Structure 1
Amino acid sequence: MLRLIAVAAGVVVLAGCAAPQTSTVTVLAAASLTDALDEASAAYRAEHPDVEIVVGYGGSSALAEQIVSGAPADVFFAANEATMQTVVDASLAVDPEVLLTNTLELVVPAGNPGEVRGLADLADPQLVVALCDPSVPCGAAAVQLLDLAGVTASVDTYEDDVRAALTKVALGEVDAALVYRTDVAAAGDAVEGIEIPEAASVVNRYPVALLADAADPAAAQEFLDFLRSAEGREVFERAGFVAP
């Protein structure tokens, strides 16, 4: 009898020493959120070491299609409301909320070798110009902005997401591109930004939502609550995003 009690007590001790269970929250997010969302995720992990945040970045439209096609994810953070609506229409997004806004800016390599001065220069066939593909939010916004300014751009390459366009500028592969102002800030000294007055009329609204098929909805909701909190919003504001 004494031996049995000792074994049972040993089991209790071992159970008490077991490692805490770790939850994983998988987020699919617009490429323009990369730096700010990475920082926000790290801040959340510092306060919640038992939660792993895994983020996949890309063009919002492609991510929305992946979700509708059954890609496993817990949270979707899009760069415009149209792509979120695709997920809503499939009954896969729970109560989307617009958390941030962003606007476009003209970006050129450091030193501005193409001597670009404004939107009208994008019509110059002598310049190498990159835009986001019109199917993704930054591309759709670029089309709207160019139409508003009455400029027909001479486009040499269409990119799948805004970070791909930004990379081509930073590497000096193109003379100019239209990206979000937050991306210009994130690139630092590798690029120069040129503000566009008309950009204030073309605002991208970034909705975020819990997904209906979330593997751990409670953990995902807690992370969403953090993003919506004053601490989370401060991270995005430092990156140049604006509250709606």
Structure 2
Amino acid sequence: MSQPFSGRRAAAALVTAALLVPLSACGGNDDSKKDAGSEKSGSAAPKADLTVLAASSLTDVFKKAGAVYEKEHPGTKVNFSFAGSQELAAQVKEGAPADAVVTADTKTMDGMKVDVGTPTVIAKNRLVIATGEGNPKKIGNLKALADSKLKVVLAASEVPVGRYGQQVLDAQKLKVKPVSQEPNVRAVLSKVELGEADAGLVYKTDAATAPKKVDAVDIPDAQNAVASYPAATLKASQHQAAAAAFVKWLSTPEAQKILEQAGFQKP
């Protein structure tokens, strides 16, 4: 006995619906894969746990910048490893698992050119003479550092701030015998903070992090050195797109404002 017309039409509709379900499901999977791929390789910052190697003088400001970046990019975590630029370069050459690097000089960055992408200078800095709070030794200029009665601490010559410091002293034909040569600028600052040194050459921004413990004696621009901070992604990074997005963000007005508030100069 044949089915009524309405019955046959209902049966056909059920068959058609059954056939469309798997086709729809397949189409949905393709779209989701496409979206996932877009997120992974698109211009918007992908989600990732990033490790950024950064110069010691960026410690405070990068912690603030990193918090802002994470808030704006949910799902992204920025982990910083701070050290002297020469130490960062050694880590990169040894294959340390990281995604980007920011040094306190272009020379160190240039020495890593086979390991990094194209660098971008994100900020500049200048030197000051850090003294004990209240400047008890009444140090007023670079010439005063040549006084053998003073305990002066400098960074080692292979450290950017140490190289800049020696550069300004040599330009003024001053011979300074440091009581110690430290591995990074924060170690120099610490010696002055603890009273283990009367003075030290540090970046302006580092002295600004300890206003209640040290005084900063300005060095005239004509006698000073300008430190440049280049940032670059690492070619060995497992998160190339995310690393590139962070490095690019460091040059945005928002990031530049954070750097400027910390005392850094525009690139």
TM-score normalised according to structure 2 size = 0.80
Q: Does 1:132 align with 2:150?
A: no
Question: What residue number does 2:229 align with?
Answer: 206
Q: Does 1:226 align with 2:249?
A: yes
2 CA distance for matches of 1:206 and 1:199?
A: 20
- Aligned with 1:189: secondary structure? coil
- TM-superposed CA distance for 1:37, in Å, is 0.8
1 CA distance for matches of 2:129 and 2:65?
A: 27
Q: Which amino acid aligns with 1:151?
A: L
Q: Does 1:78 align with 2:103?
A: yes
1 CA distance for matches of 2:133 and 2:210?
A: 10
Aligned counterparts, 1:75-224, within 5 A: 75-88=100-113, 91-198=114-221, 201-224=224-247
- TM-superposed CA distance for 1:198, in Å, is 4.7
Between the two proteins, the alignment pairs up a number of residues equal to 222
Q: Does 1:235 align with 2:233?
A: no
- For structure 1, the residue ranges without an aligned partner over 5 or more in a row are 1-20
Aligned pair partner of 2:92 in 67, 92, 100: 67
- TM-superposed CA distance for 1:96, in Å, is 0.5
1 CA distance for matches of 2:224 and 2:207?
A: 19
% identity of equivalent residues: 39
Q: Which is richer in strand?
A: 1
2 CA distance for matches of 1:179 and 1:81?
A: 18
Question: What residue number does 1:9 align with?
Answer: none
Spell out structure 1 runs of 4+ moving beyond 2 A: 198-201
8 Å contact kept, 1:106–1:194 = yes
Across the aligned residues of Structure 1 and Structure 2, the Cα RMSD in angstroms comes to 1.4
Aligned counterparts, 1:6-17, within 5 A: none
2 CA distance for matches of 1:210 and 1:29?
A: 12
Query: Which is higher, the Rg of structure 1 or of structure 2?
Result: 2
2 CA distance for matches of 1:160 and 1:203?
A: 20
- For structure 2, the residue ranges without an aligned partner over 5 or more in a row are 1-45
Question: What residue number does 2:26 align with?
Answer: none
8 Å contact kept, 1:166–1:179 = yes
Q: Which amino acid aligns with 2:122?
A: L
TM-score normalised according to structure 1 size = 0.87
2 CA distance for matches of 1:109 and 1:62?
A: 28
Q: Which amino acid aligns with 2:108?
A: T
8 Å contact kept, 1:34–1:57 = yes
8 Å contact kept, 2:155–2:162 = yes
Q: Which amino acid aligns with 2:65?
A: A
1 CA distance for matches of 2:256 and 2:142?
A: 31
Q: Which amino acid aligns with 2:68?
A: A
Q: Which amino acid aligns with 1:138?
A: V
